[in-house]
Amino acid sequence: MQNENTIIVGGGPCGMACAIDLQERGINPLIIEKENVVNTIYNFPTHQTFFSSSDKLEIGGVPFITEKQKPVRNQALSYYREVSSRKNLRVHTFEKVTSITSTDEKFKTVESQNKYGQKQTYSAENIIIATGYYDQPNKMNIPGEELPKVMHYFKEAHPFYNKNVVVIGGKNSAVDATLELHKAGANITVLYRGEQYSKSIKPWILPEFDSLVRKEIVKMAFNARVEEITADKVIYTVGNETREAANDFVFAMTGYKPDLQFMKMAGVLTDENSGRPYFEPETMETNVPGIYVAGVVAAGYNNNEIFIENGRYHGETIARAITSKG
């Protein structure tokens, strides 16, 4: 068994920020990440531009300088790799935490497994859960959703040239995907259950998207409820009318949610409606002594509350709480 003072589950920007803040207070934590560092950003669309300016994504006092105010995905990946290297962060990548149990009032046992199936057991006084929310898509629970042609993540538009693509959703991820698919020559239908454009759409992409809709280059249906996906079409309703869209591929950009089962496994109480874990805002400590939450996972299902730019400060709060224990 490997003994650690603090283990951080999740190697995203907020988990990394926690590690740096702990380092500055004399604790050298271990980050365990089931993929690679900042895996959520890696899974962004290839040409994704951030909503935040680069300075608001900085962690550990390492400058993030870009030629434009808002960085793109590859610049962020490079930046966070550089931070990890400069700060000599201890990161076990491609290692998944499989269980967290409280041994006694002070110590927790953490079990993990790497990509080769090798298992590892750790003992730690403190656990920081910084697992984000991007791993579990919100399912529609409709017939055909599990077909291979249905995807909940959008990466690259090129394979869908001259194909009939349905994009389900009407917020940023759906709009971003639509714009990229249009550039690649896809035939696109957007199905959105809202009555009008979402107010959360980034203001610099809405005019281009709206222009495509108005010119009917992109077909869009508001108040649309998807009922079924078949091999060659998507069946949906608008009011009492049933409609069909010819279809080769579907991008169901219906949002994501945190892994509440992971929280429950660790003994952390969560609100079933909001998905929010119980924690003290002054310390970020949960109902389980020595287990803390950091980053967007602290907001539960409301992923518009915590971002990198404010979640990066959770580390300072947690580091102060851990070191004040003595």
Last residue of a domain, one of 193, 227, 252: 252
How many domains in the chain? 2
pLDDT at 133: 83
Do 121 and 7 share a domain, yes or no? yes
In a domain, 143, yes or no: no
In a domain, 76, yes or no: yes
Do 126 and 260 share a domain, yes or no? yes
When pLDDT is averaged across residues 315-322 and rounded to a whole number, the result is: 96
Do 204 and 303 share a domain, yes or no? no
Please report, for the domain that includes residue 219, its CATH number.
3.50.50.60
pLDDT at 326: 62
d(CA 91, CA 43) in angstroms, rounded, equals: 19
Q: Which residue has the higher pLDDT, 238 or 202?
A: 238
pLDDT at 307: 83
When pLDDT is averaged across residues 17-25 and rounded to a whole number, the result is: 97
In a domain, 270, yes or no: yes
Q: Which two tokens stand for residue 135?
A: 């791993």
Last residue of a domain, one of 225, 252, 279: 252
- Residue partners of 213: CB distance under 8 A and separation at least 6: 190, 219, 220
Last residue of a domain, one of 252, 287, 302: 252
In a domain, 229, yes or no: yes
d(CA 29, CA 235) in angstroms, rounded, equals: 51
3-state secondary structure 115-156: CCCCEEEEEEEEEEECCCCCCEECCCCCCCCCCCCEECCCCC
Tell me: pLDDT of 3 over 80.
yes
Range of the domain at 316: 2-135+256-324
| pLDDT tens-digit map of 234-248 | 999 999 999 999 999
Do 154 and 83 share a domain, yes or no? no
pLDDT at 66: 94
For residue 201, what is the DSSP state?
A: S
For residue 195, what is the DSSP state?
A: S
| pLDDT tens-digit map of 95-134 | 999 999 988 778 999 999 999 999 999 999 999 999 988 8
pLDDT at 238: 96
Do 117 and 8 share a domain, yes or no? yes
Do 116 and 218 share a domain, yes or no? no
When pLDDT is averaged across residues 205-225 and rounded to a whole number, the result is: 96
Q: Which two tokens stand for residue 160?
A: 């869908």
- pLDDT classification of 287: cutoffs 50, 70, 90: very high
| pLDDT tens-digit map of 31-64 | 999 999 999 999 988 888 888 899 999 999 999 9
Tell me the whole-structure pTM to 2 decimals: 0.89
Contacts 24+ apart (CB under 8 A), 196-200: 196/222, 197/170, 198/170, 198/171, 200/171, 200/172, 200/304
